[in-house]
Amino acid sequence: MILRNWSVRIGGISLLILIAIAIAAPLLGTVDPTLFDAASRDLRPGETGEISTLDGETLKHTFLMGSDSFGRDVYSRVLYGARVSLLIGLCVALLALAFGIVLGLCAGYLRWLDGPLMRVMDGLMAIPSVLLAIALVALWRPSLTTVVIAIAIPEMPRVSRLVRSLVLSIREEPYVEAAVALGTPTVKIMFGHILPNTAAPLIVQGTYIVAFAILVEAILSFLGVGLPPDIPTWGNIMAEGRVQFVAYPHNVFYPGVFLAVTVLAVNILGDGLRDTLDPKMAKRV
Amino acid sequence: MTTLQVTDLTVSLPHGGDRPEAVSKVSFAIERNEILCLVGESGSGKSVIAQAVMGLLPKTLVIASGKIVLEDQDLTSCGTARLRQLRGARMSMIFQEPMTALNPVMSCGAQLDEVFRIHTAFSAAERKARSAALLREVSIADPERILGAYPHQLSGGQRQRIGIAMALALEPALLIADEPTTALDVTTQAQILNLILELQRRHGMGVLFITHDFGVVAEIAHRVAVLRTGELVESGPKDRVLKQPQHEYTRMLIRSVPTLKPHGRIADSNSPLVLQTRNLGKIYPVGRWFGARREVRAAEDVSLEVRRGQTLGIVGESGSGKSTVARCIVRLIEPSGGEVLLDGEDIAAAPQRRLRELRRRVQIVFQDPYRSLNPRRSVGEAIIEGPLNYGVPRSQALERARRLLELVRMDPGSLGRYPHQFSGGQRQRICIARALAVEPELLVADEAVSALDVSVQAQVLALLEEIRGRLDLAMLFITHDLRVAAQVCDRIAVMQRGRIVEYGPVREVFGAPRHEYTRALFAAAPGRDFDFGAA
């Protein structure tokens, strides 16, 4: 049923290919993305040059996507960058969903918590999410964990709002009232009866968060407040290429294409999932 | 002259449906000045016929063969532009749910005006005058005010009157009424039925009246056509079909309609008291930020008793507070005053911990079988949930679930299946089994058979009766349907606007109603002169 939807097929297959590329990066003719060689600076795509390994050896290497101003292989950096981007997308989505679900369930089902919780969420939503993420990363030492948390926190209110609205309608269903009458403890009702019935819209929302997180991570890295520069990410590859963009556009072009394709694939997948899992949600998001 | 002639109409269903055709080779005719009632249970294809005539079939349903002739125009071949002209002008329709049939953001006047603007060349003043005249014709007291009102400001009956006025605006030859009174209270239903009868006579229209309710048929029909899974099984004049049904299916349907005569069982007034309410009340404060605070008294001063092995019925129209009382008793909502005594212990005041133990002893079955079971849980999980909550080991609970499924006449092998695999009646049986799983002393049935087809309703009622007898259960039976109440209740409380207006043994209340509201309810019960269930 789900696999019959063309958006799901296209988005899903594109995403699977990207994941395969990220996992198989070492096997796809790449070198260590941190390696550099002063002799191979600013090569154009397809040119051959040299690159020295950590052991002091010098290898001949074809720079499929050219090299940057340090003489690093853009192809290797883009492929390894896919790992970081996808990992961050997934982690942010899981984290934002986990906390958003708990907060939304509490706000929706325990009415006395609703007011205070949702006002805090409203407050969070009033701050532009990229700005909030920058502030949070600046507060902590930049690392994968802090970036994930910093992107996830501004996403949480969106999830919790969605969950809350779903809970508010599901809690009125007679099967929930029947469970109350059967003496089922509140926590069991929240997680056993209500949560499973919110799954479809949440999966869809999850894919949008993945796409958004990948973008925000790229923005943070581009601005130099994201991951430390020794971890290759699409954002900081582009940031490094920015200065020489006119002379050597490949430094920005290739990571940019990967970023755009990934976000597009995830969004198409999300749209397809929405149409198949939850036709009503089109109105809500 | 024949107003509508339907010949061998077949409408095919898309692949993967439960049958290949929604409607198979259906033929009938409606003469001028005649009301034909199309009766059938849910899924019989009666609404599909109405949609086919109006040219409003969903795209997935196609007319495979047959002819629909309105006056002398063949509707199956005349094209959409012509159909649009005919709709409203020569045939029009009134719908079941008057709230959704009217546009909520347009005033009633604007909606009526639109009908005239599209189909006629009247001036604005003339249109307004005609709209007001129409509203007077459908017995709306203050037409000028109502023309400026929006649908949500009107009562259900008024909305349906507006719907009828819109349908009649252009003096159609054919009026199609698709369950027009099903969503209305019984007293309003009686008024609307009278109105339709009167207007039909005055305008000499042909009326195709679709209903599932034999009481309504008895009130309004000239001729009756009975539909079963897309096939016409019987048609003929009302008296013949209702009194001497030829087809076995019609006989079964008519037999299933409960009679208004109370059953003959005599309740033992010394049987021990299970539940008693004293001055139970529920007040909803309607707070506004600005302006006065109001209170809505959903229930007030409700004092009832239910004895072991007996059924107390609460009857009343929508908004009478009967469900509020049920939900207070199960404590799904907090009563605002009074006592709910279960074996002398007050549920209304019980603290959370004690309440958990008390909950086991009072269980509830809801109206809507499609929403009463969690779609993501198997039948088995649903039934054992209660016992597990009270510490019964899983294997024992499953064994009990199997026994209960047998008790409600279902296959014990259904434990692993999911709710969507069952019909409405089967789901209601599962809900009953779930409620019985914790061995309650009191079973509250909140309109538990109202959403079911009449034949299924009869089976579920019989099942509830049997269970009450076998388990010596006390039952609180909430219903709007006097016929159902007559069959199952030992005592009856009639509620109106949150208060009990009459309370007594069923035979006294039905035999000699004392309160004028009770008398009005009986007078409004459709088909009260027909003795159903005896055929």
pLDDT tens track for B267-285: 788 889 999 999 999 988 8
Instruction: Give the chain A residue whose CA is nearest to the CA of B446.
Output: A174
pLDDT in tens, B71-114: 888 998 888 889 988 988 899 999 888 778 899 999 999 999 99
Instruction: Give the chain B residue whose CA is nearest to the CA of A199.
Output: B376
Token pair recorded at residue B185: 């209270």
Chain center to CA of B120: 37
Query: Which pLDDT does position B315 carry in this prediction?
Result: 93
Asked whether residue A284 carries a pLDDT value surpassing 70, the answer given is no
Residue keyed to tokens 């209110």: A157
Percent of all residues in chain B with a pLDDT value above 70, rounded to a whole number: 98
Asked whether residue A280 carries a pLDDT value surpassing 70, the answer given is no
Mean pLDDT across chain B, nearest whole number? 90
Neighbours of B270 (CB within 10 A): 6
Find out whether B102 and B150 touch, Cβ atoms under 8 Å: no
Query: Which pLDDT does position B385 carry in this prediction?
Result: 94
Mutant choice from A110, A175, A198 vs B, greatest count of B C-beta within 10 A: A175
Q: Report the pLDDT averaged over residues A147-170.
A: 92
Tell if the CB–CB gap between A177 and B364 is shorter than 8 Å.
Answer: yes
Query: Which pLDDT does position A29 carry in this prediction?
Result: 75
The conformation of residue A189, written as its DSSP 8-state character, comes to: I
- Residue A282: pLDDT band (50, 70, 90) is very low
Residue A172 touches chain B, beta carbons under 8 Å: no
Instruction: Give the separation between CA B290 and CA B382, rounded to whole angstroms.
Output: 46
Query: Which pLDDT does position B494 carry in this prediction?
Result: 95
What secondary structure does DSSP assign to B315-344, as a single string?
E--TTSSHHHHHHHHTTSS--SEEEEEETT
Helix, strand, or coil (residue B425): helix
- Residue B288: pLDDT band (50, 70, 90) is low
Nearest to B374 among A180, A183, A193 (CB): A193
Instruction: Give the chain B residue whose CA is nearest to the CA of A195.
Output: B376
Residue keyed to tokens 């309440």: B355
Find out whether B420 and B339 touch, Cβ atoms under 8 Å: no
pLDDT in tens, B353-407: 888 888 999 999 999 988 999 998 999 999 999 999 999 999 999 999 999 999 9
Kindly report the nearest CA distance between residue B160 and chain A, in angstroms.
28
Tell if the CB–CB gap between A181 and B362 is shorter than 8 Å.
Answer: yes
Phi and psi (nearest 5°) for B29?
-135, 145
pLDDT in tens, B136-167: 988 888 888 899 999 988 888 889 999 999 99
Query: Which pLDDT does position A176 carry in this prediction?
Result: 94
Portion 373-432 of B in contact with A at CB < 8 A: 373-377, 382, 385-386, 389-390, 431
Please state whether the predicted TM-score (pTM) of the whole model is above 0.90: no
pLDDT in tens, A78-92: 999 999 999 999 999
Instruction: Give the separation between CA B268 and CA B308, rounded to whole angstroms.
Output: 9
Query: Which pLDDT does position A283 carry in this prediction?
Result: 41
Instruction: Give the chain B residue whose CA is nearest to the CA of A188.
Output: B389
Instruction: Give the separation between CA A93 and CA A270, rounded to whole angstroms.
Output: 13
- Residue B289: pLDDT band (50, 70, 90) is low
Neighbours of B122 (CB within 10 A): 14
Give the β-pairing of B311-315 and B474-479: parallel
Asked whether residue B470 carries a pLDDT value surpassing 60, the answer given is yes
Instruction: Give the separation between CA B486 and CA A64, rounded to whole angstroms.
Output: 86
Residue keyed to tokens 């347009």: B106
pLDDT in tens, B189-236: 999 999 999 999 999 999 999 999 999 999 999 999 999 999 999 999
Kindly report the nearest CA distance between residue A182 and chain B, in angstroms.
5
Instruction: Give the separation between CA B175 and CA B205, rounded to whole angstroms.
Output: 7
Kindly report the nearest CA distance between residue A134 and chain B, in angstroms.
40
Find out whether A147 and A88 touch, Cβ atoms under 8 Å: yes
> Which residues in chain A touch residue B385, judged by CB atoms under 8 angstroms apart?
179, 182, 184
B213 contacts: CB under 8 Å, gap ≥ 6: B182, B454, B526
Tell if the CB–CB gap between A174 and B367 is shorter than 8 Å.
Answer: yes
Instruction: Give the chain B residue whose CA is nearest to the CA of A174.
Output: B372
Kindly report the nearest CA distance between residue B120 and chain A, in angstroms.
37
- Residue B429: pLDDT band (50, 70, 90) is very high
Find out whether A133 and A220 touch, Cβ atoms under 8 Å: yes
**Highest mean pLDDT of the ranges A93-107, B95-109, B337-351:** A93-107
ipTM over the 0.85 cut-off: no
Of the listed ranges A42-46, B480-484, B511-515, B517-521, the least confidently predicted one is A42-46
Note the helical H segments in B235-310: 238-243, 248-256
Q: Report the pLDDT averaged over residues B12-33.
A: 88
Find, among B112, B138, B132, B217, the residue nearest to B454 by Cα: B217
> Which residues in chain B touch residue A179, judged by CB atoms under 8 angstroms apart?
374, 385
